[in-house]
Structure 1
Amino acid sequence: MDTETIEGVITPVMYSWGHQSVIDVIRQQLRPSQETLDLCAGRGDLELPGTGDCYVPDLAYVPDELARTEGALLPDQTLLVVEATSAETADTDRIVKRRRYGQFGAPLYLLVDRQERSCTLFSEPGELGYTRVEGPHPFGVAVRLPEPFDVDLDTTRF
Protein backbone atom coordinates (compact mmCIF):
# COMPACT_ATOMS: atom_id res chain seq x y z
CA MET A 1 0.00 0.00 0.00
CA ASP A 2 1.26 3.47 -0.89
CA THR A 3 1.27 6.32 1.59
CA GLU A 4 1.60 10.05 1.15
CA THR A 5 2.16 12.88 3.59
CA ILE A 6 -0.46 15.63 3.30
CA GLU A 7 -0.19 18.67 5.55
CA GLY A 8 2.08 16.63 7.84
CA VAL A 9 -0.30 13.66 8.12
CA ILE A 10 0.73 10.24 6.78
CA THR A 11 -2.19 9.01 4.73
CA PRO A 12 -2.70 5.58 3.10
CA VAL A 13 -3.47 5.61 -0.61
CA MET A 14 -6.00 3.03 -1.80
CA TYR A 15 -7.52 2.66 -5.25
CA SER A 16 -10.90 1.19 -6.21
CA TRP A 17 -11.51 -0.37 -9.60
CA GLY A 18 -13.75 2.57 -10.52
CA HIS A 19 -10.96 4.96 -9.62
CA GLN A 20 -8.40 3.00 -11.63
CA SER A 21 -10.69 2.76 -14.66
CA VAL A 22 -10.78 6.57 -14.96
CA ILE A 23 -6.99 6.75 -14.81
CA ASP A 24 -6.73 3.98 -17.40
CA VAL A 25 -9.01 5.88 -19.81
CA ILE A 26 -6.76 8.94 -19.48
CA ARG A 27 -3.62 6.86 -20.03
CA GLN A 28 -5.08 5.34 -23.19
CA GLN A 29 -5.92 8.74 -24.65
CA LEU A 30 -2.57 10.30 -23.79
CA ARG A 31 -0.42 7.37 -24.92
CA PRO A 32 0.34 8.96 -28.34
CA SER A 33 1.42 12.21 -26.64
CA GLN A 34 3.47 10.24 -24.14
CA GLU A 35 5.40 8.55 -26.94
CA THR A 36 5.80 11.68 -29.07
CA LEU A 37 6.97 13.81 -26.13
CA ASP A 38 9.16 11.05 -24.61
CA LEU A 39 7.32 11.04 -21.29
CA CYS A 40 6.90 8.60 -18.46
CA ALA A 41 3.42 8.23 -16.97
CA GLY A 42 2.96 6.91 -13.46
CA ARG A 43 2.39 7.39 -9.73
CA GLY A 44 5.83 8.39 -8.45
CA ASP A 45 6.46 10.53 -5.39
CA LEU A 46 6.28 14.32 -5.70
CA GLU A 47 8.06 16.14 -2.89
CA LEU A 48 7.02 19.60 -1.67
CA PRO A 49 10.31 21.05 -0.36
CA GLY A 50 10.22 22.77 3.01
CA THR A 51 6.84 21.28 3.98
CA GLY A 52 7.67 17.68 4.87
CA ASP A 53 4.89 16.67 2.46
CA CYS A 54 5.20 14.11 -0.32
CA TYR A 55 2.26 13.36 -2.62
CA VAL A 56 1.60 10.30 -4.78
CA PRO A 57 -0.60 11.58 -7.61
CA ASP A 58 -2.99 9.20 -9.32
CA LEU A 59 -1.14 9.93 -12.55
CA ALA A 60 1.68 12.26 -13.51
CA TYR A 61 3.50 12.82 -16.78
CA VAL A 62 7.20 13.66 -16.50
CA PRO A 63 10.09 13.76 -18.98
CA ASP A 64 11.50 10.26 -19.35
CA GLU A 65 15.04 11.31 -18.37
CA LEU A 66 13.76 12.67 -15.02
CA ALA A 67 11.75 9.51 -14.36
CA ARG A 68 14.94 7.49 -14.36
CA THR A 69 16.05 9.03 -11.05
CA GLU A 70 15.62 7.11 -7.80
CA GLY A 71 14.26 9.88 -5.59
CA ALA A 72 11.10 11.92 -5.56
CA LEU A 73 10.53 14.59 -8.18
CA LEU A 74 9.16 18.09 -7.68
CA PRO A 75 5.76 19.22 -8.97
CA ASP A 76 7.40 21.74 -11.32
CA GLN A 77 9.20 18.85 -13.04
CA THR A 78 5.90 17.40 -14.23
CA LEU A 79 4.00 18.30 -17.37
CA LEU A 80 0.61 17.14 -16.04
CA VAL A 81 -0.68 15.90 -12.69
CA VAL A 82 -4.02 14.07 -12.49
CA GLU A 83 -6.04 13.33 -9.39
CA ALA A 84 -9.32 11.38 -9.48
CA THR A 85 -11.42 11.84 -6.37
CA SER A 86 -12.84 9.15 -4.16
CA ALA A 87 -15.27 9.76 -1.32
CA GLU A 88 -12.38 9.70 1.17
CA THR A 89 -10.02 12.02 -0.77
CA ALA A 90 -12.36 14.42 -2.56
CA ASP A 91 -11.81 17.47 -0.35
CA THR A 92 -8.05 16.94 -0.24
CA ASP A 93 -7.87 16.67 -4.04
CA ARG A 94 -10.20 19.66 -4.57
CA ILE A 95 -8.63 22.02 -2.02
CA VAL A 96 -5.27 21.03 -0.56
CA LYS A 97 -3.66 19.38 -3.58
CA ARG A 98 -5.05 22.00 -5.94
CA ARG A 99 -3.39 24.76 -3.90
CA ARG A 100 -0.13 22.90 -3.27
CA TYR A 101 0.42 21.67 -6.82
CA GLY A 102 -0.06 25.27 -7.99
CA GLN A 103 2.25 26.72 -5.33
CA PHE A 104 4.96 24.23 -6.24
CA GLY A 105 4.73 24.87 -9.97
CA ALA A 106 2.96 21.88 -11.53
CA PRO A 107 2.00 23.44 -14.90
CA LEU A 108 -1.25 21.50 -15.36
CA TYR A 109 -3.49 19.87 -12.77
CA LEU A 110 -6.47 17.86 -13.98
CA LEU A 111 -9.04 17.16 -11.27
CA VAL A 112 -11.43 14.35 -12.16
CA ASP A 113 -14.18 14.74 -9.59
CA ARG A 114 -15.97 11.40 -9.57
CA GLN A 115 -18.50 12.51 -6.94
CA GLU A 116 -19.47 15.69 -8.82
CA ARG A 117 -19.07 13.92 -12.19
CA SER A 118 -16.94 16.72 -13.60
CA CYS A 119 -13.41 17.60 -14.74
CA THR A 120 -11.54 20.81 -14.08
CA LEU A 121 -8.20 21.82 -15.55
CA PHE A 122 -6.04 24.16 -13.50
CA SER A 123 -3.10 25.98 -15.10
CA GLU A 124 -0.84 28.98 -14.67
CA PRO A 125 0.57 28.08 -11.25
CA GLY A 126 1.38 30.86 -8.81
CA GLU A 127 2.27 31.66 -5.23
CA LEU A 128 -1.31 31.15 -4.00
CA GLY A 129 -2.18 28.24 -6.29
CA TYR A 130 -3.51 28.25 -9.83
CA THR A 131 -4.60 31.44 -11.53
CA ARG A 132 -6.45 29.85 -14.45
CA VAL A 133 -9.39 27.45 -14.08
CA GLU A 134 -11.21 25.75 -16.95
CA GLY A 135 -14.33 23.99 -15.77
CA PRO A 136 -15.86 22.23 -14.10
CA HIS A 137 -16.92 20.41 -17.24
CA PRO A 138 -19.54 17.68 -16.80
CA PHE A 139 -18.49 14.17 -17.77
CA GLY A 140 -19.19 13.72 -21.46
CA VAL A 141 -17.76 17.14 -22.40
CA ALA A 142 -14.27 17.11 -23.89
CA VAL A 143 -11.55 18.81 -21.85
CA ARG A 144 -8.83 20.55 -23.83
CA LEU A 145 -5.31 19.81 -22.61
CA PRO A 146 -3.05 22.58 -23.97
CA GLU A 147 0.52 22.32 -25.27
CA PRO A 148 2.55 20.25 -25.09
CA PHE A 149 -0.31 17.71 -25.16
CA ASP A 150 -2.64 19.62 -27.49
CA VAL A 151 -5.40 17.01 -27.02
CA ASP A 152 -9.15 17.03 -26.41
CA LEU A 153 -9.66 14.54 -23.60
CA ASP A 154 -12.86 12.52 -24.08
CA THR A 155 -14.57 12.19 -20.68
CA THR A 156 -17.58 10.09 -21.73
CA ARG A 157 -16.12 6.90 -20.19
CA PHE A 158 -15.41 8.48 -16.80
Structure 2
Amino acid sequence: MTVMAERTSHASQMSVEEFERIAAYAAKETDDAVRFEFIDGRIGAKRVPDGDYNTIDMWLMRQCMQARPDLDLYQGQGLKVEKYRKGRARPDGVLVPAAHFAGHGEWAPAEGVLLVLEVTSYDSDTDRRDRQEKPVAYGAAGIPCYLLVDRDDCSVTLFSEPGAERGYGSTVRKSFGGVLSLPEPLGIELDTTELKQYAD
Protein backbone atom coordinates (compact mmCIF):
# COMPACT_ATOMS: atom_id res chain seq x y z
CA MET A 1 0.00 0.00 0.00
CA THR A 2 1.48 3.46 0.85
CA VAL A 3 4.47 4.36 2.97
CA MET A 4 4.50 2.30 6.14
CA ALA A 5 6.47 3.35 9.21
CA GLU A 6 7.07 0.12 11.05
CA ARG A 7 7.20 0.22 14.82
CA THR A 8 9.09 -2.87 15.90
CA SER A 9 9.92 -2.25 19.55
CA HIS A 10 7.54 -4.26 21.73
CA ALA A 11 5.15 -4.69 18.74
CA SER A 12 4.74 -8.41 19.40
CA GLN A 13 3.56 -7.64 22.94
CA MET A 14 0.91 -5.14 21.89
CA SER A 15 -2.69 -6.26 22.17
CA VAL A 16 -5.20 -5.55 19.43
CA GLU A 17 -7.16 -3.42 21.89
CA GLU A 18 -4.09 -1.22 22.51
CA PHE A 19 -3.57 -0.95 18.75
CA GLU A 20 -7.18 0.14 18.19
CA ARG A 21 -6.83 2.87 20.84
CA ILE A 22 -3.63 4.17 19.20
CA ALA A 23 -5.20 4.08 15.72
CA ALA A 24 -8.32 5.94 16.88
CA TYR A 25 -6.27 8.60 18.68
CA ALA A 26 -3.93 9.10 15.70
CA ALA A 27 -6.84 9.40 13.25
CA LYS A 28 -8.34 12.15 15.40
CA GLU A 29 -5.04 14.02 15.82
CA THR A 30 -3.99 13.83 12.14
CA ASP A 31 -7.42 14.42 10.55
CA ASP A 32 -7.16 10.88 9.14
CA ALA A 33 -4.05 11.82 7.10
CA VAL A 34 -2.45 8.63 8.40
CA ARG A 35 -4.02 5.18 8.67
CA PHE A 36 -2.79 2.36 10.85
CA GLU A 37 -2.60 -1.41 10.36
CA PHE A 38 -1.59 -4.22 12.70
CA ILE A 39 -0.44 -7.33 10.84
CA ASP A 40 1.51 -10.27 12.25
CA GLY A 41 2.31 -8.37 15.43
CA ARG A 42 3.61 -5.24 13.68
CA ILE A 43 2.02 -1.83 13.78
CA GLY A 44 2.41 0.32 10.69
CA ALA A 45 1.31 3.81 9.67
CA LYS A 46 0.49 4.67 6.08
CA ARG A 47 -0.45 7.93 4.44
CA VAL A 48 -3.82 8.34 2.77
CA PRO A 49 -3.68 7.15 -0.87
CA ASP A 50 -2.89 9.56 -3.71
CA GLY A 51 -4.88 10.21 -6.87
CA ASP A 52 -3.54 7.20 -8.78
CA TYR A 53 -4.48 4.86 -5.91
CA ASN A 54 -7.99 6.23 -5.82
CA THR A 55 -8.28 6.08 -9.61
CA ILE A 56 -7.30 2.40 -9.56
CA ASP A 57 -9.99 1.79 -6.94
CA MET A 58 -12.49 3.53 -9.21
CA TRP A 59 -11.31 1.42 -12.18
CA LEU A 60 -12.15 -1.73 -10.23
CA MET A 61 -15.43 -0.26 -9.02
CA ARG A 62 -16.56 0.56 -12.57
CA GLN A 63 -15.70 -2.91 -13.86
CA CYS A 64 -17.48 -4.59 -10.96
CA MET A 65 -20.55 -2.35 -11.20
CA GLN A 66 -20.94 -3.21 -14.88
CA ALA A 67 -20.62 -6.95 -14.29
CA ARG A 68 -22.09 -7.24 -10.79
CA PRO A 69 -24.24 -4.26 -9.69
CA ASP A 70 -25.14 -6.28 -6.58
CA LEU A 71 -21.64 -5.63 -5.14
CA ASP A 72 -20.10 -2.63 -3.35
CA LEU A 73 -16.42 -1.63 -3.32
CA TYR A 74 -15.43 0.12 -0.08
CA GLN A 75 -12.33 2.28 0.36
CA GLY A 76 -10.72 2.62 3.77
CA GLN A 77 -12.82 -0.04 5.50
CA GLY A 78 -10.89 -1.67 8.34
CA LEU A 79 -10.89 -5.47 8.46
CA LYS A 80 -10.12 -7.95 11.22
CA VAL A 81 -7.59 -10.31 9.65
CA GLU A 82 -6.63 -12.74 12.36
CA LYS A 83 -4.03 -15.47 11.97
CA TYR A 84 -1.63 -16.41 14.73
CA ARG A 85 -1.96 -12.95 16.28
CA LYS A 86 -4.91 -10.64 16.01
CA GLY A 87 -4.58 -8.34 13.02
CA ARG A 88 -6.19 -5.25 11.55
CA ALA A 89 -5.80 -4.15 7.92
CA ARG A 90 -7.10 -1.32 5.72
CA PRO A 91 -7.06 -2.59 2.13
CA ASP A 92 -7.22 -0.08 -0.72
CA GLY A 93 -10.53 -1.69 -1.68
CA VAL A 94 -12.90 -4.25 -0.17
CA LEU A 95 -15.48 -5.89 -2.46
CA VAL A 96 -18.60 -7.20 -0.71
CA PRO A 97 -22.31 -7.78 -1.33
CA ALA A 98 -24.29 -4.51 -1.31
CA ALA A 99 -24.72 -2.98 2.16
CA HIS A 100 -22.59 -5.74 3.72
CA PHE A 101 -20.88 -3.39 6.17
CA ALA A 102 -24.05 -1.66 7.37
CA GLY A 103 -24.07 -1.70 11.16
CA HIS A 104 -20.37 -2.57 11.48
CA GLY A 105 -17.82 -0.35 13.16
CA GLU A 106 -14.37 0.75 12.07
CA TRP A 107 -12.98 -2.81 12.11
CA ALA A 108 -15.37 -5.29 10.49
CA PRO A 109 -15.02 -9.08 10.40
CA ALA A 110 -13.54 -10.56 7.20
CA GLU A 111 -16.46 -12.98 6.84
CA GLY A 112 -18.47 -12.22 3.72
CA VAL A 113 -15.68 -10.23 2.03
CA LEU A 114 -15.30 -11.45 -1.57
CA LEU A 115 -12.11 -9.64 -2.61
CA VAL A 116 -9.53 -7.24 -1.22
CA LEU A 117 -7.52 -4.86 -3.39
CA GLU A 118 -4.04 -3.54 -2.66
CA VAL A 119 -2.01 -1.17 -4.84
CA THR A 120 1.76 -1.10 -4.48
CA SER A 121 3.59 2.08 -3.63
CA TYR A 122 7.12 3.07 -4.49
CA ASP A 123 8.65 2.46 -1.08
CA SER A 124 10.93 -0.09 0.55
CA ASP A 125 8.11 -1.82 2.48
CA THR A 126 6.01 -2.77 -0.55
CA ASP A 127 7.66 -6.13 -1.18
CA ARG A 128 7.34 -7.36 2.41
CA ARG A 129 3.93 -5.84 3.04
CA ASP A 130 1.90 -6.30 -0.16
CA ARG A 131 3.61 -9.31 -1.77
CA GLN A 132 4.48 -11.37 1.31
CA GLU A 133 2.52 -10.50 4.46
CA LYS A 134 -0.84 -9.50 2.98
CA PRO A 135 -1.42 -12.73 0.99
CA VAL A 136 -0.79 -14.77 4.13
CA ALA A 137 -3.05 -12.59 6.31
CA TYR A 138 -5.91 -12.36 3.80
CA GLY A 139 -5.77 -16.05 2.88
CA ALA A 140 -5.71 -17.11 6.53
CA ALA A 141 -8.77 -14.88 7.11
CA GLY A 142 -10.60 -16.87 4.41
CA ILE A 143 -11.05 -13.98 1.95
CA PRO A 144 -11.67 -15.70 -1.42
CA CYS A 145 -9.61 -13.31 -3.58
CA TYR A 146 -6.75 -10.86 -3.09
CA LEU A 147 -6.05 -8.62 -6.09
CA LEU A 148 -2.64 -6.93 -6.11
CA VAL A 149 -2.11 -4.10 -8.59
CA ASP A 150 1.67 -3.91 -8.84
CA ARG A 151 2.84 -0.62 -10.30
CA ASP A 152 6.51 -1.66 -10.01
CA ASP A 153 6.28 -4.30 -12.72
CA CYS A 154 3.00 -3.18 -14.36
CA SER A 155 1.06 -6.30 -13.46
CA VAL A 156 -1.98 -7.54 -11.60
CA THR A 157 -1.80 -10.67 -9.47
CA LEU A 158 -4.83 -12.58 -8.30
CA PHE A 159 -4.43 -14.77 -5.22
CA SER A 160 -7.31 -17.24 -4.77
CA GLU A 161 -8.16 -20.53 -3.05
CA PRO A 162 -7.56 -19.34 0.53
CA GLY A 163 -6.43 -21.58 3.35
CA ALA A 164 -3.10 -22.80 1.98
CA GLU A 165 0.00 -22.71 4.18
CA ARG A 166 1.19 -19.47 2.57
CA GLY A 167 -2.31 -17.96 2.47
CA TYR A 168 -3.55 -18.87 -1.02
CA GLY A 169 -3.28 -22.00 -3.15
CA SER A 170 -3.55 -20.29 -6.54
CA THR A 171 -1.72 -17.28 -7.98
CA VAL A 172 -2.34 -15.83 -11.46
CA ARG A 173 -0.32 -12.87 -12.76
CA LYS A 174 -1.09 -10.78 -15.86
CA SER A 175 0.76 -7.79 -17.29
CA PHE A 176 -1.21 -4.56 -17.63
CA GLY A 177 -3.23 -4.87 -20.82
CA GLY A 178 -4.25 -8.47 -20.24
CA VAL A 179 -7.62 -9.82 -19.14
CA LEU A 180 -7.81 -11.34 -15.67
CA SER A 181 -10.67 -13.66 -14.70
CA LEU A 182 -11.98 -13.40 -11.15
CA PRO A 183 -13.32 -16.83 -10.17
CA GLU A 184 -16.68 -17.60 -8.58
CA PRO A 185 -18.31 -16.32 -6.48
CA LEU A 186 -17.33 -13.22 -8.51
CA GLY A 187 -17.27 -14.41 -12.14
CA ILE A 188 -15.88 -11.10 -13.46
CA GLU A 189 -13.47 -10.51 -16.35
CA LEU A 190 -11.14 -7.57 -15.66
CA ASP A 191 -9.65 -5.74 -18.64
CA THR A 192 -6.44 -4.21 -17.24
CA THR A 193 -5.55 -2.00 -20.24
CA GLU A 194 -6.52 1.22 -18.44
CA LEU A 195 -4.00 0.53 -15.67
CA LYS A 196 -1.10 1.33 -18.02
CA GLN A 197 -1.89 5.02 -17.47
CA TYR A 198 -1.39 4.83 -13.71
CA ALA A 199 2.09 3.30 -13.54
CA ASP A 200 5.05 5.67 -13.75
SS at match of 2:143: coil
Q: Note if 1:143 corresponds to 2:177.
A: no
Following the alignment from structure 2 to structure 1, what is the Cα–Cα distance between the partners of residues 61 and 99?
19
Following the alignment from structure 2 to structure 1, what is the Cα–Cα distance between the partners of residues 40 and 153?
24
**Runs of 4+ that moved beyond 4 A:** none
**145, 150, 168: which one pairs with 1:108?**
145
Q: Note if 1:41 corresponds to 2:73.
A: yes
Give the equivalent residue in structure 1 for 2:168: 130
* Bigger mean CA offset, 26-35 vs 94-103: 26-35
**67, 70, 92: which one pairs with 2:104?**
70
Identity between Structure 1 and Structure 2 (%): 34
Following the alignment from structure 2 to structure 1, what is the Cα–Cα distance between the partners of residues 86 and 187?
34
In the TM superposition, residue 133 of structure 1 has moved relative to its aligned partner by 1.1
With the length of structure 2 as denominator, give the TM-score of the two structures.
0.71
Q: Is the 8 A contact 2:39 2:137 kept in 1?
A: no
**101, 116, 131: which one pairs with 1:81?**
116
SS at match of 1:29: helix
Q: Note if 1:90 corresponds to 2:137.
A: no
Q: Is the 8 A contact 2:156 2:175 kept in 1?
A: yes
1:53-83 Cα deviation digits (max 9, x unpaired): 2000000112334310223223342011111
Unaligned runs of 5+ in 2: 1-32, 196-200
Give the equivalent residue in structure 2 for 1:153: 190
SS at match of 1:157: helix
Give the equivalent residue in structure 1 for 2:25: none
1:30-49 Cα deviation digits (max 9, x unpaired): 113442x3x33213111123
Q: How many residues align?
A: 155
Q: Is the 8 A contact 2:96 2:112 kept in 1?
A: yes
SS at match of 2:139: helix
What amino acid is aligned across from residue 46 of structure 2 in structure 1?
A: V
Q: Is the 8 A contact 1:33 1:149 kept in 2?
A: no
What amino acid is aligned across from residue 152 of structure 2 in structure 1?
A: Q
**18, 25, 29: which one pairs with 2:52?**
18
User: What CA RMSD, in Å, does the superposition of the two structures yield over aligned residues?
Assistant: 1.8
